[in-house]
Chains A and B, each alone.
Chain A
């Protein structure tokens, strides 16, 4: 798609050409400064994973100790647990979350009443804009067996107090995943709706003339139209499997569910920053381990995809 520009390719770019466009470089100075300080700076800081970081000596002055932190992490009793939790949460999340927006988008696309359709779209997007703090606060209030909606409905039906599901450690997993679906199904459906709206009406008309029912056309016209989008998003999501965000999980953690809810990112925070005399080097090693696995995942998944499907992210 990239149009050939008039510029001679290869190494023949002359100094004159840079000088001609010096103003463009001026624009880039501040953004580059930002990205170098706040994105590449921390990458350089990753070296403390192989060092015994001492704040008084700084990142570069601290002594090298090799792979000690990684060995310590792999041997620690937490290792198996947090890797397993990370995988369980993100795979469950992916499996449950992924199909919902697809079905939702197909349904919305089928709707014929314009007003109802617009209203439905408007409403399902709303939860996306609720902050994670408010969302977790809502979950806590909602599932409160005494004053929450869940408790109130239960009381109405069974006329007794609801069992306290918040104290059941395994409910964490379901609440985490399904509150995420509640929050983002609408927003995630936008991209599929966009793909569906580009389907030519001619296809539908031709199929109608041939006597295809609307349901039939969903499977033969609508669904095939969004398959490329589905594939790309699936790749994106699989690449992020180890990249479980910190914010929501940390807020949902409590002493009861910690056994099932401790994941890499929250563990990094706890060993590195929140514990007294935080162990920066050790926590960085854990974070780096995670980043590298993540990186390899993204790159591999994308390689495989571009080989067999010609859909690549870059």
Chain B
């Protein structure tokens, strides 16, 4: 079709302008990211002298060696993996068993139940009362505090419900009922296998949320052995609480400062790596989630 209509000069200028704008956006997005990665692979002298602009200067792995020598980083890593694993499993299970009945048009009091969930999106008890509840349930300083208070996201529930309503034909249910399938059987035998796309979406959403969250740990966990990675990161990156043992190998003050900065760059890379590595392969699912959510508006 396009061949018929010739591009005018005006169009060509416009397309070029758009390409240039996007190129500029990409530079703005990518440069800081590349800078962090490059710095982490540079020597501490180069970082300290501010010689890194885009590519690594004096390639070295000193920063990574320091990161992996740091016990708290490793513990944090292990804790975060566990919280993400167990937390996400619970999240997905709860979301699915909530979304199924709420998606059934013949569910008695469906709208009432739905309101019970959606109301919590526009009004909440807030930080302090939630803290009191968590502490009265004796969850403070327990790994469960990392999992239970965020066991279900109503937003993901809505995505899942919308998906089931729109993508799974109602005739399936009728056919299943005729074949003598009850509500449990329909859920396990028919609905779950057909919901794979939305399960992928919410699993990823929940997993990334667990991996990246520091707030719950910050409020509820004071025992440093239970710290997730993000809280360890916060203490090192932002509060500058660096264990002196990490940098004792180096005598001079400047050398220490250089290693401290190098360590921060390496730490940023190490902590973000799992999410960013899997990102290209699952990008499609993340975008799908937004699309499903958008149907509801």
Q: Which A residues have a C-beta under 8 Å from some C-beta of B?
A: 3, 5-7, 13, 17-18, 21, 23-28, 30-32, 34-35, 37-46, 48, 58-59, 104, 107-108, 110-113, 116, 120, 122-127, 129-134, 136-138, 140-142, 144, 146-149, 151-153, 155-156, 182, 185-187, 190-191, 194-195, 201, 205, 208-209, 213-215, 229, 232, 239, 246-247, 251, 265, 268-269, 272-273, 280, 283-284, 287-288, 290-291, 294-295, 298-299, 311, 313-314
Q: Given A28-B97, A28-B98, A126-B276: A182 and B126 within 8 A (CB)?
A: no
Which of chain B's residues have a CB closer than 8 A to the CB of A133?
212, 214, 230, 233-234, 237-238
Known: A111-B22, A131-B272, A284-B129. 6 other contacts (CB 8 A): A28-B102, A39-B120, A41-B130, A149-B35, A215-B14, A239-B122
Give B184's nearest chain A residue, CB to CB: A23
**Residues in chain B near residue A129, CB distance under 8 A:** 208, 212, 272, 275-276, 279
Given A147-B47, A246-B127, does the pair A35, B272 have CB atoms closer than 8 Å? no
The reply to whether B123 and A291 contact each other, CB–CB distance below 8 Å, is yes
Contact assessment for A190 and B290 in the assembled complex, using a CB-CB cutoff below 8 Å: yes
Chain B residue numbers with a CB within 8 Å of A214 are 10-11, 14-15
Q: Knowing A152-B50, A190-B287 are in contact, say whether A134-B214 is a contact too (CB < 8 A).
A: no
Contact B29 A186 (CB under 8 A): yes
CA distance A28 to B28 in the complex (A): 46
How many interface residues does B have (CB within 8 Å)? 99
Q: Which residue of A lies closest to B135 (CB)?
A: A55
Q: A247 and B30: CB pair below 8 A? A: no
Q: How far is the CB of B232 from chain A (nearest CB, A)?
A: 9
Interface of B is mostly: helix
Q: Is B180 an interface residue (CB 8 A)?
A: no
Mark out the residues of chain B between 241 and 297 whose CB falls within 8 Å of any chain A CB in the assembled complex: 261, 264-265, 267-268, 271-272, 275-276, 279-280, 283, 286-287, 290-291, 294, 297
Cβ distance A156 to chain B, nearest Cβ, rounded Å: 7
Is B8 an interface position by the 8 A CB rule?
A: yes
User: Closest approach, in angstroms, between the C-beta of A126 and any C-beta of chain B?
Assistant: 7
A123 touches B294 (CB 8 A): no
A213-B8 in contact given A27-B100, A287-B127 (Cβ < 8 Å): yes
Q: Can you list 8 residue pairs at the A/B interface with Cβ under 8 Å?
A: A21-B183, A24-B100, A30-B94, A42-B126, A126-B33, A214-B15, A273-B127, A291-B126
B125 close to A39 (CB less than 8 A): yes
Residue among A7, A130, A208 with most chain B CB within 10 A: A130
Most chain B CB within 10 A, of A27, A146, A311, is at: A27
List of A residues within 8 angstroms of B157 by Cβ = 31
Among A25, A46, A152, the residue within 8 A (CB) of B51 is A152
Interface residue from B21, B149, B212 paired with A38 (Cβ < 8 Å): B149
Bound CA span A185–B137, Å: 40
Q: Known contacts A111-B22, A153-B53; is A272 also within 8 Å of B128 by CB?
A: yes
Residues of B within 8 A of A (CB): 1, 5, 8, 10-11, 14-15, 18-19, 21-22, 25-26, 28-33, 35-36, 39, 47-48, 50-53, 94-95, 97-98, 100-102, 104-109, 113, 116-118, 120, 122-133, 136-137, 148-149, 151-152, 157, 182-184, 187, 208, 211-215, 219, 230, 233-234, 237-238, 261, 264-265, 267-268, 271-272, 275-276, 279-280, 283, 286-287, 290-291, 294, 297
CB closest residue in chain A, given B114: A314
B131 partner residues in chain A, CB cutoff 8 A: 272-273
List, in ascending order, chain A residues with CB within 8 A of B297's CB: 232, 311, 313
**Is B127 touching A272 in the complex (CB atoms < 8 A)?**
yes
Q: Which residue of A lies closest to B7 (CB)?
A: A214
Q: How far is the CB of A159 from chain B (nearest CB, A)?
A: 12
Shortest CB-to-CB span from B20 to chain A, Å, is: 10
Supposing A137-B237, A186-B29, A298-B122 touch, asked if A125 and B283 sit within 8 A by C-beta, the answer is yes
B120→A131 contact, CB < 8 A: no
